[in-house]
Amino acid sequence: MSATLEAAPLIARPTAAPAGRFLRHSAYLTVRSVRSLLRQPAFAAMTLIQPIIWLLLFGQLFKNVINVPGFTHASGSYLEFITPGVIVMTALFSSGWAGTVYIEDMDRGVMDRLLAAPVSRGAMIVGTVAYQSLTTIVQTLVVFGIAYASGARFDGGVSGVLVTVVAACLISVVIASFSNAIALLVRQQEALIGISQFIVLPLQFVSSSIMDTRVSPAWVRHVARYNPVDWASTAARAALSAGTDWGVVLPRLGCLLALAVVMSWLATRAFRTYQRSL
Amino acid sequence: MSQPSRPAVVARELVKSYPGGRGAAPIRALDGLSFEIAAGTVVAMLGRNGAGKSTTVKILTTLARPDSGTATVAGLDVARDAEAVRHAVGLVGQKPASDPMATGRENLVLAGRIQGLSKATARQRATELLDRFALADAADRLAKTYSGGMARKLDVAIGLVHRPQVLFLDEPTTGLDPEARAQLWSEIERLTIDEQTTVLLTTHYLDEADRLADRVAIVDAGRVVVEGTPDSLKSQLRGDAVHVELALSSAAALPALARVPGLRDAVLEGTRLRARAESGARAVPAVLAALEEAGVPVSSVTVARPSLDDVYLQHVGRAFDAEQVAA
């Protein structure tokens, strides 16, 4: 009988450093999501086609707003103006859906099985936001490619592209964390999608992502100052312009980073609330 | 229980309520549930839906916290040492636990890696379990292509990947066809032998408990109402079970049987009449005569040695399977 409890210890006991475990688990779960995406080629293709359509569609639809008095995009075309906007918008809309993976895991027994295993809760959040960020990076580069092919030119060069990628990834982290937290709290697909849409659409439109807020009503300008989507669009656009004003870019990236950290932390906390409901 | 080693699972006075919602009173899922499981044995928790079986499993696997009461698994307190408990237990919940977009092998390797196995060990263990559960041919197919029986075997394999000291199986064979059920039963029987794993199994099926479990705990309304080996529970019921199937339900049936000597514990549920008798064979003619005299038509009579169903009936006051079919 006493042999039973000592039977064949297969495992490296939980003596492993928590930080190492956190990183390893994050990597496993990111790989799981990426692999799953690559196995759904139609879905993977849509994640790339959608931002291209938005870029070309909005680029045509609102082409002439650039002539509205007060629209102060220094030089260049509306396409150049909305390229960073569409990139941020794509990150925003894709990440709003992030929580649906959790709901699927809950509807199956995957979530309970993981939570009954010594998985790092933080890594569960990082796994999904890292996956969203990887998707965002690919989408961003594709949108830049299409914009370039359509004649857009960006004076900001490599640093401009880098800032855009970082800003879009931070928006992904913020929104995916939010979506995950909501998923853990409401535990229902319809409710998650409803809440996500309710938040995402206003964030999109009360920002400078496709419209210069200087031609918007004053209240929009005021509200936009507190809107992370506006921070990301404004920072990316400034970084892509000639003579980048880093005083515009860096504080906004800093705020986005802080918000991303806070939102991921809140999402990790939401696991406790979820487990209390079990 | 007089076990030489410490028990693998100890639950003491577990209480857990869930909000009733919309001003309704909270639902008390566990109401002072206590039991122990000796290391290396299989214990079946038997009870209808809502009796508290799944809540118990959730508490013992650290998913849920009790409102009060304590529990240890493999000597570790589920509240204070949750992380260590998670290394010591495997959970096979009611719902499929595999990632449908990953292969069987990938599911096992990921589960092993999360438990802290090295890459090589996790792969080796995955192959071993795939062979063992006869999934080797499907190892590199996506789990979403698996049949119900295969998916369930994969779930059990995932639960075993880190060689847990205690495996929790929450209704492992619900929804499986008879052949898949029989296969899974043989695997579970081998578990305690090959892996020396302690198993807590919840089930709706009396035959499953009878076949697999060293001990049975009958749970009702959040408490263990009786606990023991299947044989000891059955032998507590003296005599035979007499089951009468009436052609029509009739209120006259029970009063009629009260006059039959040596017959006791008569219960009527719809058209099913159950009673116990010292000797079933001797009681049957008297039972039939009494019912005929009362004008109650009978369609069949059976006499049997006591089954777990009779044990359940005795302790919970209702037959077990009648409502479960609908559930």
How many CA atoms lie less than 13 Å away from A198 in the CB half-sphere?
9
How many CA atoms lie less than 13 Å away from B32 in the CB half-sphere?
1
Q: CB neighbours of A74 closer than 8 A, spacing ≥ 6?
A: A241, A242
Which residue in chain A is spatially nearest to B114 when comparing CA positions?
A119
Q: What are B117's two structure tokens?
A: 């196995």
Q: What are A214's two structure tokens?
A: 């200087």
Residue reference for tokens 């493999």: B74
Which of B114, B118, B166, B197 best probes binding to A when mutated, by most A CB atoms within 10 angstroms?
Answer: B114
- Considering only CA atoms, which of B221, B220, B129 is closest in space to residue B167? B129
Contact call for residues B14 and B56 (beta carbons, < 8 A): yes
What is the average per-residue pLDDT within B197-213?
90
Chain A residues in contact with B87 (beta carbon < 8 A):
11, 13-14, 118
Parallel, antiparallel or unpaired: strands B42-46 and B198-203:
parallel
pLDDT for A194 equals 94
Contact call for residues A170 and A132 (beta carbons, < 8 A): no
Does the beta carbon of B110 lie under 8 angstroms from any beta carbon of chain A? yes
pLDDT for B318 equals 67
Instruction: For residue A130, give the amino acid letter.
Output: A
d(CA B100, CA B107): 9
Portion 117-176 of A in contact with B at CB < 8 A: 117-119
pLDDT for B249 equals 82
Mean residue pLDDT of chain B comes to 89
**Contact flag A112-B198 (C-beta cutoff 8 Å):** no
Examine the pLDDT at B327 and tell me if it is beyond 50: no
**Contact flag A118-B61 (C-beta cutoff 8 Å):** no
CA dihedral A167, A23, B100, B179 (to 10 degrees): -170
Examine the pLDDT at B18 and tell me if it is beyond 70: yes
- What are the CB-based long-range contacts (under 8 Å, 24+) for A264-267? A264/A122, A264/A125, A264/A126, A264/A129, A264/A173, A264/A177, A266/A177, A266/A181, A267/A125, A267/A177, A267/A178, A267/A180, A267/A181, A267/A184
Q: How far, rounded to the nearest angstrom, does the alpha carbon of residue B195 sit from its chain's CA centroid?
A: 21
Chain A residues in contact with B96 (beta carbon < 8 A):
108-109
Portion 128-187 of B in contact with A at CB < 8 A: 142, 155, 158-159, 162-163, 165
Contact call for residues B234 and B305 (beta carbons, < 8 A): yes
Q: Across the beta sheet with B223-228, what order do the strands follow? A: B89-92, B166-170, B198-203, B42-46, B215-220, B223-228
Does the beta carbon of A276 lie under 8 angstroms from any beta carbon of chain B? yes
pLDDT for A4 equals 37
Q: What secondary structure does DSSP assign to A86-148, as a single string?
A: HHHHHHHHHHHTTHHHHHHHHHTTHHHHHHTTT--HHHHHHHHHHHHHHHHHHHHHHHHHHHH
Instruction: Look up the pTM and report it.
Output: 0.86
Portion 191-210 of B in contact with A at CB < 8 A: 195-196, 198
Chain A residues in contact with B89 (beta carbon < 8 A):
116
Q: What are A25's two structure tokens?
A: 């688990």
Contact call for residues A90 and A136 (beta carbons, < 8 A): yes
pLDDT digits (tens, 9 = 90+) for B276-315: 888 888 888 889 988 988 888 899 998 887 777 778 877 8
Contact call for residues B70 and B77 (beta carbons, < 8 A): yes
Examine the pLDDT at B264 and tell me if it is beyond 90: no
Q: Which of B62, B113, B195 sits opposite A116 (nearest CB)?
A: B62
B214 pLDDT tier (thresholds 50, 70, 90): very high
Walk along chain A (278 residues) in steps of 10 and give the mean pLDDT of each run: 43 65 96 96 94 91 82 76 95 95 95 95 96 97 95 93 98 97 96 94 91 88 94 96 93 98 97 92
pLDDT digits (tens, 9 = 90+) for B53-92: 999 999 999 999 999 999 999 999 999 999 999 999 999 9
Does the beta carbon of B4 lie under 8 angstroms from any beta carbon of chain A? yes
Examine the pLDDT at B238 and tell me if it is beyond 80: no
d(CA A108, CA B97): 6
Chain A residues in contact with B105 (beta carbon < 8 A):
none
Q: What secondary structure does DSSP assign to A134-196, as a single string?
A: HHHHHHHHHHHHHHHHTT---TTHHHHHHHHHHHHHHHHHHHHHHHHHHHHHH--HHHHHHHH
Cα torsion A208, A214, A217, A221: sign:
positive
pLDDT for A75 equals 63
